[in-house]
Amino acid sequence: MLNFNKALLLVAALGLAACNNPNRYANGGAGANGMGGAGGAGGISSQGLGDASNPASVAYFNQSVGDRVLFLEDQSTLTPEAQQILTAQAQWLNKYPDYAIIVEGHADERGTREYNIALGARRAGTVQEFLVSQGVRAGRIKTISYGKERPVATCDDESCWSQNRRAVTVLSQGLNG
């Protein structure tokens, strides 16, 4: 059944938002219970994010390497800035090969639901492809799209939409060989 440690680390890996909201994706996200858990439905879980001063920690990856890249409207091509972040992600991931990776693709709310799932998938796929091109083993990476269902910023102008058009590299420890 539920691999508890794995589930905890997945949640822990969700990034800064997870500090305030450990249950962010309890409603069915790969992050919360995708690895085989009934994690989180209704309950509040809490776990450490690891020590950000430890360069091998998820917290370090999220905060110092950067766990996400942003996209232009209705685009999935990587900006120079995104390529820089992903290059750093790949270097880190190659250094710490035990982390399993889920790349989450997201879209802003200015599109239709189903297209946005496909668009988020395309963004996640682009990131996956780039990481693999930088030497990250393809077998470590899964992708998922949340379309426009999980925004991080909820105002109704470009300042929020630009944050929501993102691909987030979510880590969990314990690749089984």
- Residues near another protein (CB under 8 A) are 21, 23-30, 33-36, 38, 41-42, 74, 76, 109-115, 117-119, 121-126, 128-129, 142-146, 149-156
Residue 94 beta carbon to another protein: minimum distance, rounded to whole angstroms: 21
Q: Which is nearer to another protein, 98 or 109 (CB)?
A: 109
Q: How far is the CB of 121 from another protein (least distance, A)?
A: 4
- Non-local (6+) Cβ contacts of 59 within 8 A are 12, 49, 50, 51, 52
Minimum Å gap between C-beta 114 and another protein is 4
Structure tokens at 85: 């972040």
E runs forming strands in 32-154: 68-70, 100-106, 141-147
Nearer to another protein, 5 or 53 (CB): 5
Q: What single DSSP character describes residue 140? A: G
Comparison of 68 and 123: residue with beta carbon closer to another protein = 123
Q: Which of 66, 105 has the CB closer to another protein?
A: 105
DSSP E strands, 49-99: 68-70
Smallest gap, in angstroms, from Cβ of residue 122 to another protein?
Answer: 5
Q: Which residues of 127-144 are buried (b: 16+ CB within 10 A; e: fewer)?
A: bbebbeebebeeebbbbb
- Tokens encoding 72: 């232009």
